[in-house]
Amino acid sequence: MKRPILEQIPLWGPEIKSVLLDMDGTLLDKYFDDYFWEHLVPEKYSEKHGVTFGRAKEELMTKYKHHEGTLNWTDIDFWSRELRLDIPALKEQIKHLIEVHPHVEDFLRMLRRHKKKVFLVTNAHFKVLDLKMKKTNMGRYFDMCITSFEMGHPKEDIGFWEKAEKILGFDKESSLFIDDTEEILRTARKFGIRYIAFKAKATSKKSPGASKDFPTIMDFSEFCR
């Protein structure tokens, strides 16, 4: 039987002083991003380049895969140039789809009440971070927000964490990191962050799957009991 998350991670005790949180899929519903890259962009790309939607999606998936795990992967200026589309403008068009996962704000308020340092660490482009913080009004909960572009490395690279540690000033031994991507969690663990948790149910449109390697959170209400 799976142990409750609070038995695995003593969040409200003195052992954890800093909490590092991913944005897309962890705090925010990844449906916005999935819909954008898998439906809206192929649709606009097919119109721009005079190909069928199916052909457009096939070409784009190949391009996405080539840049996955690099700084280009979430660089919307790069994709604007690469695809000859105004990616920031397209994101603005569907910003109404940006949604916060259930109980996230309750969780963030509890972190503040318990005087934890709270940091947002994201691979998202700073323009996308700005758009999403304005839409959700969540910026007030964080001591600092950093992006992979500021660090010069994606979170999949140790280099990100080395720079993040210096800028944010967190102690690896007393920090918790939560993300919905296991490759990133493995890098953070290798770097030495003591407490790691996997956020399942990144998108509301797909069934969640637990991690075999990390304590799993299905819903942030698990931390609020």
Q: What is the pLDDT of residues 110-137, one digit of tens each?
A: 999 999 999 999 999 999 999 999 999 9
Number of domains within the chain: 2
121 and 202 in a single domain? The answer is yes
Asked if 214 and 197 count as a contact pair (C-beta separation under 8 A), the reply is: yes
Residue 208: the pLDDT is 83
Residue 47: the pLDDT is 97
Angle (CA) 126 129 133, round 5°: 145
pTM of the predicted protein model = 0.95
Question: Given 72, 96, 120, which residue is the final one in a domain?
Answer: 96
What does the pLDDT average to over 72-85? 96
Neighbouring-strand partners of residue 196: 177
Query: Per residue in 86-117, pLDDT tens?
Result: 999 999 999 999 999 999 999 999 999 999 99
Contacts of 100 (CB under 8 A, 6+ apart): 27, 28, 29, 136, 138
- Nearest CA to 23 out of 165, 162, 142, 189 is that of 142
48 and 81 in a single domain? The answer is yes
User: Other CB atoms closer than 10 Å to residue 92's CB: what's the count?
Assistant: 10
pLDDT at 210 over 90: no
36 and 114 in a single domain? The answer is no
What does the pLDDT average to over 163-173? 98
